[in-house]
Amino acid sequence: MEKGRWKDISQVLQNDIPHWPNDTPFTYETRFTKEQTGSVNVGRITSSLHTGTHIDAPYHFTNDGERVLDLDINLFIGPAKVIDVSLFNCLDVELLRSFQLERGTKRVLLKQLVKMHQQRFLNRFH
């Protein structure tokens, strides 16, 4: 990747994007049309924080951990190692150690299937 170039890794938020079991699924709906308001279309988004491309801050795992708003944005900017974990049934320390990161690796992104079948998702993480 060229220096100074950004690569967008965001998943498209759409009504069929996988979500954590028993959590709030993502939905978008047009609440009011331009014809109804006389000026603009107005939409509504409902979602869990565990939807689409996201990070889990330390607080997600420990009550005294930092929250996303406490983290320096620069932690998320720069070169990263991408590991495709789509085909693994369990993500644990042992699996992650098996990828043998190069010395000096500062960022790791775990790639999962974007269009994962809901039942497979439930079987893998529930």
Catalytic residues: 60
SS3 label, residue 123: helix
Secondary structure class of 6 (helix, strand, coil): coil
Tell me the pairing of strands 81-84 and 108-111: parallel
Q: Which two tokens stand for residue 14?
A: 């759409």
Q: Calculate the CA 103 to chain-centre distance.
A: 26
